[in-house]
């Protein structure tokens, strides 16, 4: 109080002139302080404003698309779903809708709208909130690209300064192009092109007026106004946009009414649905190490693959239908005491009894992967059973044995033994027990060694526990006889069988032991399919591949596939083997596939203890491999479940769909092949009295010369 009193007394003592001078000095000092403070503040604001020159080089995070053989989108790799388009590719209705709703004076202002800023400031003062609103499209663009999403006075000042700089350096059309490609539309998509694909399943150039209005209405709050979240709010926003467009004279009354009556999407486009997830991951694992994570996920690449969705989608549906049915059958046949699992073990049990399957189709000529199903549900298990699972192929491996036999002078009419046999291990190798040619002799020979841990005995048998005796090479393959296969392995040597497997297309190590002919070595499904396609392709092996071409965001080709070919077997040997494998479908274990009414060659397979069920079938153009089993190597629960009885039915139904529009044609016959009618039992030239005859293929010069001498 004393200070105030003394100050007033001081003023009273001043003359009028002195009082005016003092007041002027005071106002000047205060003004200087305010100007200095404002200058320091502006300096701070301007110090970290980025240069708009970078806008020329601005490259947003782009979506990489994966396409099938018919240029249908399979999947995408993206951090932000986005595609960049020139303004000429974006409908005028979309441009007008955005201008009418977001910035009516866009073509008249110079970056900022003073009236809009004042209106926003008044609203902020009245509602006591931070500075917001009143932004032009240019301000919004500067905020989207350069600034953090914070609501402060300093950020607002930066936004306005950047907007002025952008307007000085870029044309209105360039600014509008950047904005329309940059704006967020919800659900992880940026830009009008990606938004059009998400909401309407079409290219942006095909959008209607109503669709343009709907997208524009999303801009202020995409999640709140999304038709997927609130259909009525989305409809109201569309109506508001159309009204604004009408007020700005962009459209007429009739156009607005028609657009307002257009249907509104309620779920995402099927373009974003996931098919071939295992194949997409197979492609990613190849390309990501090559191009890097940033390029694959942000670079806007286009990956053109060999996959055919027309084959893939029905294959997924059919396989799942059958495996679900087998799961149900297995549950019904499960013993009651096993079905009553303890509460703490119930989840484990559920996981272990889910039957798995895998399926792959290859183009025989090129090795292109046309379909790939690595399991029943990618979300539950990302383990690809086509490429990663090493399983026993069982009898599907027998064609490698039969090819080895053909290469050693055997013919389809050669006689082989399907008789009891036994092997012993001498510490270095497995050797045949000589003279043990019937079960009694085998029992007698191994009796002294029963219980001896140092003396290993192996007595192979067939699935049905029976023997066929002397049969032709063809019948041995058609009936999938194990003992006949082991007989051949003993004659040609297991090392040669392993070599044939590798030449055909199997890359994994194959154990050169007598049991190799029973498919006891571990292989992948893709390797087995590849080896079968070698036989179907006249002995020429082509490496399987999934990527045809890769381009960058500018359309420049980064890589292009060239099939890798190797002549593994002669066309004549391959044809003779394939011709025998056709008998597997016509008369043997794969007969269910004969309903396709076209030439099919194939082989069924069941591994040890029924842990794996297989069927691999070939046409002249395609090879398709099907497998089913449990991931934890449990035996399949029904004793009568075999590859022919379980896998062949769903393989056949899939291929019925895949092949329905393809012409029916047979495997081409190479030069040097002759056809002779032989007796099925003896393999000798058939007489009129022979009841079972077959027109058999031989390499010229190897056909039989003797006539059948058996009284049928």
Q: How many helices (H) and strands (E) does the chain have?
A: 25, 21
Query: What would the two tokens of residue 608 be?
Result: 């040890």
Which residue would you say has higher pLDDT here, 143 or 66? 66
HEC string of 378-432?
Answer: CCCCCCCCCCCCCECCHHHHHHHHHHHHHHCCCCCCCEEEECCCCEEECCCCEEE
In this structure, are 94 and 28 located in the same domain? no
Residue 137's pLDDT is: 82
In this structure, are 34 and 150 located in the same domain? no
CB 145 within 8 A of CB 56: no
In this structure, are 90 and 213 located in the same domain? yes
Please state the rounded mean pLDDT for residues 263-281: 79
Per-residue pLDDT reduced to its tens digit, 339-397: 544 444 444 344 446 899 999 999 999 999 999 999 998 878 889 999 999 999 999 99
Write phi, then psi, for 228 (nearest 5 degrees). -75, -25
Residue 9's pLDDT is: 62
324 pLDDT more than 70: yes
In this structure, are 95 and 144 located in the same domain? yes
Residue after which a domain boundary falls, among 242, 272, 302: 272
Residue 347's pLDDT is: 40
**Helical axes 92-102 vs 172-182, angle rounded to 10°:** 90
Which residue would you say has higher pLDDT here, 57 or 106? 106
Q: What is the DSSP string of 325-383?
A: HHHHHHHHHS-HHHHS--GGGHHHHHHHT--EEEEEEEETTT-BEEEEE-SS-TTT---
Beta bridge partners of 604: 615
In this structure, are 129 and 43 located in the same domain? no
Using CA atoms, how far apart are residues 279 and 631, in angstroms rounded to an integer? 19
Q: Does residue 237 form part of some domain?
A: yes
Q: What is the CATH number of the domain that holds 224?
A: 1.10.3810.10
Q: Does residue 38 form part of some domain?
A: yes
221 pLDDT more than 80: yes
Per-residue pLDDT reduced to its tens digit, 151-169: 555 556 666 767 777 777 7
In this structure, are 36 and 177 located in the same domain? no
pLDDT band (50, 70, 90) for residue 492: very high
541 pLDDT more than 70: yes
Q: Collect all residues with Cβ–Cβ distance below 8 Å to 367 and sequence separation of at least 6.
A: 530, 533, 542, 543, 544, 545, 563, 564
Using CA atoms, how far apart are residues 669 and 568, in angstroms rounded to an integer? 18
Residue 341's pLDDT is: 47
512 pLDDT more than 60: yes
pTM of the model: 0.74
Residue after which a domain boundary falls, among 238, 272, 306: 272
Strands of the 430-432 sheet, one edge to the other: 430-432, 423-425, 456-458
Query: What would the two tokens of residue 693 be?
Result: 């005859």
Q: CA nearest 201: which of 116, 251, 267? A: 267
In this structure, are 129 and 212 located in the same domain? yes
56 pLDDT more than 70: no
Using CA atoms, how far apart are residues 420 and 440, in angstroms rounded to an integer? 10
In this structure, are 245 and 111 located in the same domain? yes
Residue after which a domain boundary falls, among 250, 272, 294: 272
Which residue would you say has higher pLDDT here, 580 or 131? 580
Which residue would you say has higher pLDDT here, 123 or 559? 559
Q: Does residue 704 form part of some domain?
A: yes
In this structure, are 100 and 35 located in the same domain? no
DSSP state of 150: -
Looking at the 3D structure of the chain, how many domains does it have? 3
Q: Does residue 202 form part of some domain?
A: yes
Q: What is the CA radius of gyration of the chain?
A: 38
CB 605 within 8 A of CB 643: yes
Using CA atoms, how far apart are residues 599 and 584, in angstroms rounded to an integer? 11
Per the listing, tokens 């997409």 go with: 280
Q: CA nearest 462: which of 437, 441, 474, 479? A: 479
Q: Does residue 381 form part of some domain?
A: no
DSSP state of 177: H
Q: What is the DSSP string of 546-563?
A: -EEEEE-TT--EEEE---
Residue 3's pLDDT is: 57
CB 76 within 8 A of CB 275: no
pLDDT band (50, 70, 90) for residue 194: confident
Q: Does residue 219 form part of some domain?
A: yes
In this structure, are 143 and 262 located in the same domain? yes
Q: Does residue 493 form part of some domain?
A: no
Least confident interval from 375-389, 567-581, 633-647, 693-707: 633-647
Question: Mean of the per-residue pLDDT values for the chain?
Answer: 84
448 pLDDT more than 90: no
In which region does residue 689 sit, left (phi positive, over 0), alpha (psi from -120 to 50) or beta (all else)?
alpha
Which residue would you say has higher pLDDT here, 4 or 76? 76
Please state the rounded mean pLDDT for residues 499-515: 94
In this structure, are 268 and 186 located in the same domain? yes
Please state the rounded mean pLDDT for residues 509-525: 93
Q: Does residue 608 form part of some domain?
A: no
In this structure, are 166 and 207 located in the same domain? yes
Per-residue pLDDT reduced to its tens digit, 390-420: 999 999 999 999 999 999 999 999 999 887 7
Using CA atoms, how far apart are residues 190 and 83, in angstroms rounded to an integer? 8
Burial (CB count within 10 angstroms: exposed 0-12, middle 13-18, buried 19+), residue 198 = buried
Residue range of the domain that includes 698: 671-712
């Amino acid at each position: 109080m004393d200070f105030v009193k003394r100050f007033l007394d001081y003023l009273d003592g001043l003359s009028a002139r002195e009082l005016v001078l003092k007041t002027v000095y005071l106002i000047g000092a205060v003004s200087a302080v305010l100007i200095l403070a404002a200058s320091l503040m502006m300096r701070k604001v301007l110090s970290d404003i980025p240069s708009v020159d970078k806008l020329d080089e601005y490259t947003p995070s782009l979506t990489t698309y994966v396409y099938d053989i018919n240029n249908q989108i399979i999947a995408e790799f993206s951090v932000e779903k986005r595609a960049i388009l020139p303004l000429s590719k974006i409908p005028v209705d979309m441009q007008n809708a955005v201008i009418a709703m977001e910035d009516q004076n866009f073509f008249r202002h110079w970056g900022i709208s003073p009236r809009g800023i004042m209106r926003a400031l008044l609203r902020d003062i009245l509602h006591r909130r931070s500075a917001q609103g009143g932004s032009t499209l240019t301000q919004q663009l500067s905020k989207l690209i350069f600034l953090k999403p914070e609501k402060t006075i300093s950020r607002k000042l930066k936004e306005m300064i950047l907007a002025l700089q952008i307007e000085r350096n870029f044309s209105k059309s360039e600014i509008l192009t950047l904005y329309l490609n940059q704006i967020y539309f919800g659900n992880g998509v940026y830009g009008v092109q990606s938004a059009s694909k998400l909401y309407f399943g079409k290219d942006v150039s095909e959008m209607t007026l109503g669709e343009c209005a709907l997208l524009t209405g999303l801009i202020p709050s995409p999640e709140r106004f999304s038709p997927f979240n609130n259909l009525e709010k989305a409809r109201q926003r569309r109506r508001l946009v159309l009204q604004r467009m009408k007020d700005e004279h962009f459209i007429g009354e009739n156009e607005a009414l028609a657009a307002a009556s257009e249907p509104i999407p309620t779920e995402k486009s099927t373009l974003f649905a996931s098919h071939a997830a295992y194949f997409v991951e197979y492609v990613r694992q190849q390309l990501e190490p090559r191009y890097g994570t940033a390029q694959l996920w942000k670079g806007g690449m286009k990956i053109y693959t060999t996959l055919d969705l027309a084959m893939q989608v029905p294959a997924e549906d059919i396989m799942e239908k059958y495996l679900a049915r087998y799961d149900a059958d297995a549950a019904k046949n499960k013993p009651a005491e096993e079905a009553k699992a303890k509460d703490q073990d119930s989840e484990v049990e559920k996981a272990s009894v889910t039957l798995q399957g895998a399926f792959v189709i290859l183009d025989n000529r090129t090795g292109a992967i046309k379909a790939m199903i690595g399991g029943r549900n990618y979300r539950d298990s990302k383990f690809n059973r086509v490429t990663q699972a090493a399983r026993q192929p069982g009898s599907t491996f027998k064609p490698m044995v039969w090819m080895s036999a053909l290469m050693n002078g055997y013919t389809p009419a050669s006689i082989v033994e399907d008789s009891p046999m036994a092997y012993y291990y001498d510490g270095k190798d497995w050797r045949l027990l000589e003279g043990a040619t019937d079960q009694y002799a085998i029992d007698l020979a191994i009796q002294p060694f029963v219980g001896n841990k140092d003396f290993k005995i192996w007595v192979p048998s067939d699935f049905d526990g029976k023997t066929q005796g002397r049969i032709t090479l063809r019948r041995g393959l058609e009936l999938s006889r194990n003992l006949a296969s082991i007989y051949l392995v003993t004659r040609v040597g297991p090392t040669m069988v392993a070599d044939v497997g590798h030449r055909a297309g199997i890359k994994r190590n194959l154990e050169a032991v007598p049991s190799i002919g029973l498919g006891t070595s571990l292989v992948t499904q893709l390797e087995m399919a590849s080896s079968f396609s070698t036989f179907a392709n006249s002995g020429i092996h082509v490496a399987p591949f999934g990527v045809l071409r890769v381009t960058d965001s500018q359309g420049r080709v980064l890589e292009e596939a060239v099939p890798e070919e190797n002549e593994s077997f002669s066309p004549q040997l391959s044809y003779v083997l394939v011709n025998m494998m056709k008998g597997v479908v016509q008369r043997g274990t794969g007969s269910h596939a004969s309903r396709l009414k076209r030439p099919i060659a194939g082989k069924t397979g069941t591994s040890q203890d029924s842990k794996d069920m297989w069927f691999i079938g070939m046409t002249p153009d395609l090879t398709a491999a099907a497998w089913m089993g449990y991931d934890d190597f449990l035996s399949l629960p029904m004793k009568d479940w075999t590859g022919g009885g379980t896998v062949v039915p769903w393989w056949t139904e899939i291929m019925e769909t895949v092949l329905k529009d393809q012409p029916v044609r047979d495997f081409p016959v190479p030069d040097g092949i002759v056809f002779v009618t032989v007796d099925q039992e003896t393999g000798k030239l058939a007489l009129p009295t022979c009841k079972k005859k077959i027109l058999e293929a031989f390499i010229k010069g190897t056909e039989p010369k003797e006539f059948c001498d058996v009284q049928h």
